A and B are shown apart, each in its own frame.
Chain A
Amino acid sequence: MTSPHRSLGESTPRLRHRKSADKLSSEQLDALREGFAKIQALNDRNGFAYWAGKHGAPDYDCEHSSEELGYDNLFLPWHRAYLYQLELALQTKAPACTLPWWDWPASRTSGGVPAIFEDIEGEQNPLAGFAIPPLPGSPPDWPTQTSRAPGEPSLLPEISLIEEIVEQPNFDVFSEELEVRLHNGIHGWVGGTMRLQGTAAYDPIFWAHHTMVDRIWSLWQGKHASWGPRPGLWNEPLKGLGMTVGQVLDTTLLGYDYAASTEDREPDVE
């Protein structure tokens, strides 16, 4: 008989773990595909196009570094909040869904773009691309469909470069190096619509790319026992996302962490 009272275990918030795109179980991959397919069909504020349009056209709310901002750039906090919001939209439609991360170094030897983001013959794969909706004021060459033109896999970053950047003790230098040495290069490597800020987020692989960026920030936080952005920035709002820098410093308060694998056991009660 089921107890009318919730057990301690049931009342404990359960973190979700984001995993490598190469290591998803079939259930996890099904949930991811279900989530993307469902939000790609929505045309309102819960839909994929709405969220993709925040990063690029038409809203262009995203934060990247600039020389004038110096070390006040909000590149990492803004994109963490952005991933969090899309993940919530996905989980609304597919509760078991979490965003996977793209293991760039592993892709050097496994053929480039992770297999789950490739076309599947005879099937619709919502992770392979997206039909970009027409937007008011769009230029004549505005694409109607995402595209990719990836380079040679050997041009993807080696693990040693990621380790070198994570070693950087100064957060501001770390953030800039992560952005311009790794993040920018991958956008260019994928090519097609991923290479431009205006269209990149319409490609589902964008989200795995940025989840990897977020994971590297999380690795840096663990290594250096620091959140990163200086406290003077913690009340800074993140444009278009309704959150502040301070709200996104700790991933566990956003309900997720990064893991290679997880397996749960319920207490054995005789």
Chain B
Amino acid sequence: MNRYTTKKPFAVPSWKDQADFYRADLQFHGVDHRGDSYEGRVFLATPDAHPQTPLALDAGYAGSFYVFGHGPCFGDEGHCDVGEGPPIHHFDYRRPHPLRGQRMTVTITEALRRLIAAGAEGVEVTVVPTNAHNEDVGDILRFERLSLVTYD
């Protein structure tokens, strides 16, 4: 299992004498969906979370994203290689390669509010890839960037 935890926690998004956020999202950018499907379970301040950790706010659970995997490739060499396009140049009007990375958003408003209320100094995010049977699904979690976005 390739559980992911932020090496450097996000700064706590709270401001003295200013309006609080009404919504907080974690955005996973460039999520790889070339392999199997999985659920990415997101926990806050729970670096030892695992597939059997309860899906409860008290256990640090904040929400999930779901990847619908492409599955086996039937093509020849280069078929699943995003780098081979499309597009291959500026005048290539075909739809982009279907295996380009996806964006997944998990709304974590309630879990983040709890964390802040408990006096956390940073927002540590852990992602546990699993399936509907709480099983270890192997080294499947791959993404390019993670953003914490709040709205006021």
Known: A57-B71, A196-B72. 13 other contacts (CB 8 A): A63-B98, A64-B68, A64-B98, A66-B102, A67-B103, A68-B101, A135-B74, A176-B103, A177-B105, A184-B65, A184-B67, A188-B37, A199-B71
A116 within 8 A of partner (CB): no
Assess the A66–B68 pair: CB atoms within 8 A.
no
Q: Which listed residue (A66, A176, A181, A183) contacts B101, Cβ 8 A?
A: A66
Given contacts A139-B73, A196-B72, contact A151 B95 (CB under 8 A): no
Assess the A57–B39 pair: CB atoms within 8 A.
no
Nearest residue (CB) in B for A184 is B66
Given contacts A64-B68, A139-B72, A176-B105, contact A150 B132 (CB under 8 A): yes
B29 within 8 A of partner (CB): yes
Assess the A184–B132 pair: CB atoms within 8 A.
no
Assess the B37–A184 pair: CB atoms within 8 A.
yes
Which chain A residues (56-98) contact chain B, with CB distance < 8 Å? 56-58, 60, 62-69, 74
Assess the A66–B71 pair: CB atoms within 8 A.
no
Nearest residue (CB) in B for A137 is B74
Assess the A65–B74 pair: CB atoms within 8 A.
no
A195 within 8 A of partner (CB): yes
Chain B's nearest CB lies how many Å from the CB of A141? 7
Q: Which listed residue (B68, B73, B96, B102) contacts A188, Cβ 8 A?
A: B68
Contact with A along B85-126 (1 / 0, CB 8 A): 000000000011010111111000000000000000000000
List residues of chain A with CB under 8 Å of any chain B CB.
56-58, 60, 62-69, 74, 135, 137-139, 141-142, 149-152, 155, 176-177, 180-181, 183-185, 187-189, 191, 195-199, 239
Given contacts A66-B96, A180-B104, contact A196 B37 (CB under 8 A): yes
- Tell me, in angstroms, the Cα distance from A126 to B96 when the chains sit together: 36
Assess the A185–B64 pair: CB atoms within 8 A.
yes
Assess the A185–B131 pair: CB atoms within 8 A.
no
Nearest residue (CB) in B for A59 is B74
- Tell me, in angstroms, the Cα distance from A176 to B68 when the chains sit together: 13
Judged by DSSP, the binding face of B is: loop
Assess the B68–A198 pair: CB atoms within 8 A.
no
Chain A's nearest CB lies how many Å from the CB of B49? 17
Nearest residue (CB) in B for A56 is B71
Contact with A along B42-59 (1 / 0, CB 8 A): 000000000000000000
Q: Which listed residue (A65, A138, A142) contacts B102, Cβ 8 A?
A: A65
Given contacts A188-B37, A191-B132, A195-B37, contact A69 B96 (CB under 8 A): yes
- Tell me, in angstroms, the Cα distance from A6 to B38 when the chains sit together: 56
- Tell me, in angstroms, the Cα distance from A67 to B82 when the chains sit together: 13
B-chain residues with CB within 8 Å of residue A66 when the two chains form the complex:
96, 98, 100-102
Assess the B30–A67 pair: CB atoms within 8 A.
yes
B-chain residues with CB within 8 Å of residue A56 when the two chains form the complex:
71
- Tell me, in angstroms, the Cα distance from A67 to B27 when the chains sit together: 11
Interface centre among B30, B31, B36, B70 (most CB of A within 10 A): B70
